[in-house]
Amino acid sequence: MSTTALITTEGAVPAPAPVGNGRAGRVTWRTIRYALAIIGVIVVLIPVYVLLITSFKAPGDASPTRAWALPENWTLDNWKGAWSALWPSMLRSFEIVIPSAIISSVLGSLNGFVLSRWSFRGANIVFACILFGMFIPYQAVMIPLSQLVTNMHIPNGVPSLILLHVVFGIPITTLIMRNYYVTVPHELVEAARVDGAGMLRTYWSVILPISIPSFVVVLIWQFTNAWNDFLFAVFFSSSANGPVTLALNNLANGSVLQDYGVSMAGALLASFPPLLVYIILGKYFVGGLMSGSVKG
Amino acid sequence: MKGIRRVGPPLLLLAPSIILMAVFVYGLIAANFATSITDNHTAAQATGQKPSVVVWFDNYVELLKTDDFQHSLWNLILFTVVFLAGAMIMGFIWAWILERPSKGEGIFRSIYLFPMAVSFVASGVVWRWLLNSNVDDKASGLNRLFQIVGLDWLQNPWWNHITFGIAAIAIPAIWQLSGYVMALFLAGFRGIPDELREAARMDGATEWQLYRHVLFPQLAPIALSALVIIGHMSLKSFDLIMSISTAANYQTKVPAIDMFLLKNSWDYANSAAVGTVLLVIVAVIIIPYLWWTNRKEDSR
């Protein structure tokens, strides 16, 4: 894949040295670039500003004329309300997301190893068939999927969502892992083979120990994706047993009278875990992005 | 015998994933198609209490004839065009700005990319407020901001506009995914060897000629990848529309929403048919793309 060709797990390719034609021209260009960059930052951060100020406003403070102003009296009531409305569903989100991220990463790692470094005739076709699963609109399988999950007697909520995130996570985890293992020198695997190591032995003692960066990328990717999922949540859970995205949507769109203070505090709360991951492990997050991966 | 010993173990290791994909992707696509060609339109049939009869492509023909579904398809096209154009342009501009190394580049990049980490549901909460359709005295959100900065004439009903409302929902989608397009283009820029630029400059190329004849052709494959990836996401859009508008809103309806509504009203046959239509649209784009990238990789 051409996008996948870009993946460097480090995420950073050395930048080209600055070149320019003449000093004056360089300075104006630089000014224009910086101005544009700062405008971009303002545009991107407008929704964040709104979320923050509204989440600290008391209900009476929310009149349209003061829509963009800072709160008159800062209050934590919205945050408390959002916390009590969302906390149980956030716990369920963790219960769903952690096991499904781990299981699908392990499967992806095994697949990626076989498809790249213990290959066989037709491996490319198998890979393409697995990859196609990443692109299908899930709407095209949703009806029989719900029937299948019911017939298998898997309860709605956490158990069925774990299953679905594992299954539909396989294509992307396989892709990321395979692209990482392609960069592993052939000689390493060949040396193990010459020493008489079998497939599993080679995987265990040669491949797995050097897989940590790719595991971080895949785990983060699956964690964020599953945490942010809404489609499967709508079809396979209810507000009583569903993840935080569903609870947030009910909180924001459930009542006739919109309480924007609470829902915006809730939106921030629900975004906190993936944002934390992004801030701390941003480099690996970008690594997952660049492997041609997609959201939703 | 030797062939089996070579192919056997790797296939065995792949077996769990192959079986899961075979059942959950290909098996279910077939089952979905099978449902879509029956007259399974009632709850009794959906739950198996009454039999369904095969009616072949009647559901598809009926569906494509209704104004309702045509409207959904039109909305999908409009949404996709606005979303793709917006995200590609924004993403390219940002990549172009950050292409040369400069102070604070890393911070700019992180800020542009951060919306990717947030769910559509969470961003939908704030965008629903920003895209509030009230104007003048009652205006809040962006309409109020337009008043504050003296651009009153820009006030508009956003997603409540009956024909172009769906285009307003593309704005948050652009906000969320431009950073991703930027990251792709940025990697593309960095992948172009310095010698190429130098050689062009030595030949006396102007800045525009450099872009037109050297950089753009080098970036074309990246642009295609970005288009395909966000394009197929756009075709599947569901979360954002559900959280900003509601499922029942005619002006923001797309096929993914229709599928959801039809399933909820127990019309499994039509719901499955909508799913298949979406699959066909996506497959028409994705399969040639996968084929093309595979060939390119082989030839390397």
Domain residue ranges of chain B, discontinuous segments joined by +:
67-298
Determine whether the interchain pair B13/A110 forms a contact, defined as Cβ–Cβ distance below 8 Å: yes
* Interval A219-245: pLDDT, tens: 999 999 999 999 999 999 999 999 999
Average pLDDT over residues B72-87: 97
A71: Cβ contacts below 8 Å, ≥ 6 apart = A53, A56, A57, A58, A61
Q: Helices B67-98 and B58-65 sit at what angle, rounded to 10 degrees? A: 70
Taking the C-alpha atoms of residue B292 and residue B296, their distance in angstroms, rounded to an integer, is: 6
Predicted pLDDT of residue B80: 97
Predicted pLDDT of residue B48: 85
CA angle B181, B295, A10 (to 5 degrees): 45
Residue with tokens 């002006």: B251
Determine whether the interchain pair A68/B125 forms a contact, defined as Cβ–Cβ distance below 8 Å: no
Average pLDDT over residues A94-123: 93
Question: Taking a C-beta distance cutoff of 8 angstroms, is the pair B227, B84 a contact?
Answer: yes
Predicted pLDDT of residue B253: 94
Average pLDDT over residues B258-271: 96
pLDDT value at A29 more than 90: no
What residues of A are in contact with residue B11 (Cβ under 8 Å)? 120
* Interval B16-75: pLDDT, tens: 999 999 999 999 999 999 999 999 999 999 888 889 999 999 999 999 999 999 999 999
Determine whether the interchain pair B118/A120 forms a contact, defined as Cβ–Cβ distance below 8 Å: no
B38: which strand partners? B54
Cβ neighbours of A205 (radius 10 Å):
11
What residues of A are in contact with residue B138 (Cβ under 8 Å)? 64
Determine whether the interchain pair A142/B275 forms a contact, defined as Cβ–Cβ distance below 8 Å: yes
Determine whether the interchain pair B116/A289 forms a contact, defined as Cβ–Cβ distance below 8 Å: yes
* Interval A278-291: pLDDT, tens: 999 888 887 777 76
- Which residue in the set A143, A199, A275 is minimally distant from B9, CB to CB? A199
- Which residue in the set A44, A144, A200 is minimally distant from B175, CB to CB? A44
Confidence of residue A4 (pLDDT cuts 50, 70, 90): very low
Average pLDDT over residues A259-278: 93
What residues of A are in contact with residue B24 (Cβ under 8 Å)? 133, 141, 145, 167-168
- Which residue in the set A1, A67, A274 is minimally distant from B293, CB to CB? A1
Nearest chain A Cα to B180, which residue?
A289
What residues of A are in contact with residue B26 (Cβ under 8 Å)? 129
pLDDT value at A20 more than 50: no
Question: Taking a C-beta distance cutoff of 8 angstroms, is the pair B165, B251 a contact?
Answer: yes
At the topology level, CATH places domain B67-298 in MetI-like fold (1.10.3720)
- Which residue in the set A253, A271, A295 is minimally distant from B122, CB to CB? A271
Predicted pLDDT of residue B85: 98
A123: Cβ contacts below 8 Å, ≥ 6 apart = A114, A115, B10
- Which residue in the set B28, B188, B233 is minimally distant from A145, CB to CB? B28
Instruction: Report the share of chain B in percent with pLDDT over 90.
Output: 59
Which of A57-71, A118-132, A281-295, B195-209 comes out lowest in average pLDDT?
A281-295
Predicted interface score ipTM higher than 0.95: no
Select from B118, B290, B292 the residue whose CB has the most chain A CBs within 10 Å, as the one to mutate to test that interface: B118
Determine whether the interchain pair B123/A267 forms a contact, defined as Cβ–Cβ distance below 8 Å: yes
pLDDT value at B154 more than 60: yes
What residues of A are in contact with residue B298 (Cβ under 8 Å)? 124
- Which residue in the set A2, A147, A274 is minimally distant from B118, CB to CB? A274
Phi and psi dihedrals of A72, rounded to 5?
Answer: -75, -50
Average pLDDT over residues B71-87: 97
Positive or negative, the CA dihedral A97, A100, A106, A108 is negative
**Mean pLDDT rounded to a whole number for chain A:** 86
Task: Map out the domains of chain A with their CATH numbers.
Answer: 77-290 (1.10.3720.10)
pLDDT value at B216 more than 60: yes
Taking the C-alpha atoms of residue A81 and residue A66, their distance in angstroms, rounded to an integer, is: 22
Determine whether the interchain pair A142/B225 forms a contact, defined as Cβ–Cβ distance below 8 Å: no
B187: its two tokens: 């990697």
State the alpha helices, DSSP H only, in chain B. 2-21, 28-36, 43-46, 58-65, 67-98, 105-113, 120-130, 141-148, 165-191, 194-202, 207-210, 216-235, 239-244, 255-264, 268-298
pLDDT value at A5 more than 60: no
Question: Taking a C-beta distance cutoff of 8 angstroms, is the pair A177, A111 a contact?
Answer: yes
Size of interface A-B (CB pairs under 8 A): 316
* Interval A148-176: pLDDT, tens: 999 999 999 999 999 999 999 999 999 99
> Collapsing DSSP states into helix, strand and coil, what is residue B151?
coil
Determine whether the interchain pair A227/B100 forms a contact, defined as Cβ–Cβ distance below 8 Å: no
